[in-house]
């Protein structure tokens, strides 16, 4: 059966509007489409393909596990899930892990756990959840309500209640909002979808202190920032602030869907048998691949490589900007970078995305004013150089079309 991009419009629910080309094969940071055209991948499946496409060791473990055991459900446990949980707890502040299948599900578990913990310990009045404007936490109704973007959460009827927002990096506004009724605070330690917005160090420390003062749990959503992307295994490690609950997904499976919620023994104890669950969560195929991805990423070579590659990106982007003056700044950390557009190009991130596609480069946007790069953590330097040469041509297209 022959399918083309036109088939998408015939048979798919129209909530997505994918690019014109249809990829069929990937290797490292290169992708080929149905017509054999080759692309450089700076999108990384939205910060997921942490080791590029079809990394031989991930393919190996997928094939190996695929001929042993695929799925059981949580009526039984399995070896890959327990090994992955042991490695995640060894590598982080956490003692316990809950597995899910996506970022939204990991966050849903975190929010439900925080509510249950507060109910058990402090009673039903302690139920407020605070999150930040421009935050993104997923698309289930609870997580999208906690996310700070009305465009995503409105238009679906009554929302889950007791969720409040204030501006990121505004400690005074946060201090005015938090109280003894606050059950939890959910934040990204580097806002991704909202525009690659790094936190001020004082802000994160202040949020932690105020959470402690009011007995509120601090939940770090590291679905996008986690698994080596910032040059630390988790971004909190570079901020000197430890959360009570951490969620991770995207890069965790290197392309195989998996999410996880990490927390302490004391907090975890409140999700007693029967309180929460998932049919697929902790599936052996997903956990086997994630275990291998974590083994490879959590090494000094890969982490140091991320920072070297960031420096190369920044140097070459600065050269482009010196010629074309299209960015006001390049921000973010490691292999999660955003080019914020200058005043003359406000609202035109999509134009840069489309021009990049014309130049056989896959990239992302983060809102209307930021071009985002979230490539493989081990993207070869040659691919960074060739990709940015293509990006420069794309920038020239946008500038000249003005």
Ligand X SMILES: *Cc1c(COP(=O)(O)O)cnc(C)c1O
**Rounded to an integer, what distance in angstroms lies between the CA atom of residue 114 and that of residue 276?**
12
Is 136 part of any known ligand binding site?
yes
Instruction: Give least dist CB 136 to ligand X, A.
Output: 5
Is 79 part of any known ligand binding site?
no
Selected catalytic residue, list 221, 244, 351, 383: 221
Say whether residue 219 binds ligand X (CB under 6 A). no
Say whether residue 108 binds ligand X (CB under 6 A). no
Which residue from 51, 78, 81, 221 is in contact with ligand X, where contact means CB under 6 A? 221
Say whether residue 102 binds ligand X (CB under 6 A). yes
Number of other CB atoms surrounding residue 99 within 10 Å = 25
Closest CB to ligand X among 181 and 276? 276
- Residue found by looking up tokens 């105020």 in the block: 210
Q: Which of 29, 55, 28 is nearest to 40 (CA)?
A: 29
Closest CB to ligand X among 195 and 390? 195
**Rounded to an integer, what distance in angstroms lies between the CA atom of residue 257 and that of residue 329?**
33
- Residue 136 annotated among the catalytic residues of the structure: yes
Burial 187-222 (b: 16+ CB within 10 A, else e): bbbbbbbbbbbbbeeebbebbbebbeebebbbbbbb
Selected catalytic residue, list 99, 136, 313, 327: 136
- Residue 221 annotated among the catalytic residues of the structure: yes
Closest CB to ligand X among 52 and 253? 253
**Rounded to an integer, what distance in angstroms lies between the CA atom of residue 164 and that of residue 264?**
25
**Rounded to an integer, what distance in angstroms lies between the CA atom of residue 124 and that of residue 180?**
12
Say whether residue 192 binds ligand X (CB under 6 A). yes
User: Over 173-201, what HEC string results?
Assistant: HHHHHCCCCEEEEEECCCECCCCCECCCH
- Residue 96 annotated among the catalytic residues of the structure: no
Is 185 part of any known ligand binding site?
no
**Rounded to an integer, what distance in angstroms lies between the CA atom of residue 289 and that of residue 91?**
17
Say whether residue 249 binds ligand X (CB under 6 A). yes
Is 278 part of any known ligand binding site?
yes
Cβ–Cβ under 8 Å, residues 267 and 55: no
Question: With DSSP H G I counted as helix, E B as strand and the rest as coil, what are the percentages for the chain, rounded to 5?
Answer: 40, 20, 40
What DSSP assignment string belongs to 13-41?
Answer: -TT----SS-EEEEEBTEEEETT--EEEE
Instruction: Give least dist CB 196 to ligand X, A.
Output: 11
Q: Which span (52-60, 154-162, 186-194, 209-217) binds ligand X, by CB under 6 A? A: 186-194
At 152, give phi and psi (nearest 5°): -90, -30
Which residue from 193, 310, 351, 359 is in contact with ligand X, where contact means CB under 6 A? 193
Within 114-173, which residues bind ligand X (CB under 6 A)? 136-138
Instruction: Give least dist CB 352 to ligand X, A.
Output: 20
Say whether residue 254 binds ligand X (CB under 6 A). no
Selected catalytic residue, list 126, 134, 250, 309: 250
Closest CB to ligand X among 258 and 326? 258
Say whether residue 99 binds ligand X (CB under 6 A). no
- Cross-sheet strand order for the sheet of 361-362: 23-27, 30-33, 38-41, 361-362
Say whether residue 104 binds ligand X (CB under 6 A). yes
Is 393 part of any known ligand binding site?
no
Closest CB to ligand X among 135 and 305? 135
- Residue found by looking up tokens 């140091």 in the block: 304
Closest CB to ligand X among 104 and 268? 104
Is 221 part of any known ligand binding site?
yes
Which residues form the interface with ligand X (CB under 6 A)? 102-104, 107, 136-138, 188, 192-193, 221, 223-224, 249-250
Catalytically active residues, by annotation: 136, 221, 250
Residues tagged in the binding site annotation: 103-104, 136, 139, 221-224, 278-279
């Amino acid at each position: 059966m022959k399918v083309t991009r036109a088939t998408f419009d015939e048979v798919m629910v129209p909530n997505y509007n994918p690019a014109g080309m249809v990829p069929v094969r990937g290797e490292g940071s290169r992708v080929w489409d149905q017509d054999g055209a080759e692309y450089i991948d700076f999108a990384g499946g939205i910060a997921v393909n942490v080791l590029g496409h079809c990394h031989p060791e991930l393919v190996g473990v997928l094939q190996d596990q695929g001929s042993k055991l695929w799925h059981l459900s949580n009526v039984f446990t399995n070896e890959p899930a327990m090994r992955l949980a042991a490695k995640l707890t060894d590598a982080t502040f956490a003692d316990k892990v809950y597995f899910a299948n996506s970022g939204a599900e990991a966050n849903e578990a975190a929010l439900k756990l925080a509510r249950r913990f507060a109910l058990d310990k402090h009673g039903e009045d302690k139920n407020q959840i605070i999150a930040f404007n421009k935050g993104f936490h997923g698309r289930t109704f609870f997580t999208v309500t906690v996310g700070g973007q009305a465009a995503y959460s409105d238009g679906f009827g009554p929302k889950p209640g007791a969720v409040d927002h204030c501006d990121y990096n505004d400690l005074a506004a946060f201090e005015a909002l938090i109280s003894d009724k606050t059950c939890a605070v959910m934040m990204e330690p580097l806002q991704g979808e909202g525009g690659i917005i790094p936190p001020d160090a004082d802000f994160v420390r202040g949020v932690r202190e105020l959470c402690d003062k009011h007995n509120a749990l601090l939940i770090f959503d590291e679905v996008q920032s986690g698994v080596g992307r910032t040059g630390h295994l988790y971004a909190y490690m570079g901020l000197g602030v430890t959360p009570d609950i951490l969620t991770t997904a995207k890069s965790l499976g290197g392309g195989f869907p998996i999410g996880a919620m990490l927390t302490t023994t004391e907090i975890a104890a409140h999700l007693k048998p029967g309180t929460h669950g998932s049919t697929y969560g902790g599936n052996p195929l997903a956990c086997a691949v994630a275990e291998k991805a974590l083994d490879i990423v959590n090494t000094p070579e890969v982490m140091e490589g991320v920072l070297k590659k960031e420096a190369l990106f920044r140097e070459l982007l600065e050269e482009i900007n010196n010629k074309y003056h299209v960015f006001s700044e390049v921000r973010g950390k490691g292999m999660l970078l955003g080019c914020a557009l200058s005043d003359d190009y406000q609202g035109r991130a999509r134009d840069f995305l489309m021009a990049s596609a014309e130049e056989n480069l896959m990239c992302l946007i983060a809102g209307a004013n930021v071009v985002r790069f979230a490539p493989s953590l081990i993207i070869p330097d040659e691919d960074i150089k060739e990709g940015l040469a293509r990006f420069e041509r794309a920038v020239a297209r946008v500038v000249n079309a003005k």
